Amino acid sequence: MGAEPTPRREVVTGAPAGRTRAPYPDSSAHDDLAVRKLMRRQVRTGLVACSLLALPLGLFPVVFRLLPDGDTSRGAVWLLLGVAPYPVLLATGAWYVRRAERNEGDVNGR
């Protein structure tokens, strides 16, 4: 790409005083539809992320009560509760951010 032939005009606005709110988006029917679609997508992504977390974790208390006594069970419980959740939470979070940003990118119509 060559050098820019003419200087670009930039509009600089000052730092907002008090509450900052983005300007109201155009509330035409078309945009409203886009918003609803985006919201549906984001809710779905959010629910997937949380059920990846909630379902296994939610079942653990019941499952653990049913486990037989013994050293291997105890070791497994310590690992599953003390170590395993954190990398899983981080990975799920990272996945969610990627998906959510992609959902938004679709709205922007890239």
Partner 1 sequence: MNQTYGMAGVSVVVLATALVGALGLRISRTTSDFYVASRTVAPRLNAFAVSGEYLSAASFLGIAGLLLAQGVDMLWFPIGYTAGFLVLLAFVAAPLRRSGAYTLPDFAEARLESRAVRRIAGVLVVGVGWLYLLPQLRGAGLTLRLLTGAPGWLGGLVVALVVTAAVAAGGMRSITFVQAFQYWLKLTALLVPVVFLLAAWHADRAPLPAWDERPVFHRSTEVRVDRPVNVTVREAVRVTATGSIDGHPLRGAVLTLTEGRHHIGAHTGLRFPPGAQVPLPDRATGSASLAPSGTEHGLYATYGLILATFLGTMGLPHVVVRFYTNPDGRAARRTTVIVLGLLGAFYLLMPLYGSLARLYAPDLLLTGDTDAAVLVLPQRLIGGVGGDLLGALVAGGACAAFLSTASGLTMSVAGVLAQDVLPALGLRHFRLAVVPAIAVPTAAGTVVGGLPVADAVGLAFAVSASSFCPLLILGIWWRGLTPPGAIAGLLLGGGSALTAVTTTITGTTRPGWSHTLLAWPAVWSVPVGFAAMFLVSLATRHRVPAGTAATMARLHLPEGRV
- Cα 18 → chain centroid: 29
Angle between helices 85-107 and 29-66 (to 10 degrees): 170
User: Does residue 18 touch partner 1 according to CB under 8 A?
Assistant: yes
In this complex, which beta carbon is closest to partner 1, that of residue 3 or of residue 19? 19
Least Å from the CB of residue 90 to partner 1: 5
Q: Where are the alpha helices (DSSP H) in the chain?
A: 29-66, 71-82, 85-107
User: Does residue 22 touch partner 1 according to CB under 8 A?
Assistant: yes
Binding mask 50-79 for partner 1 (x = CB under 8 A): x--xx--xx--xx--x---x----x--xx-
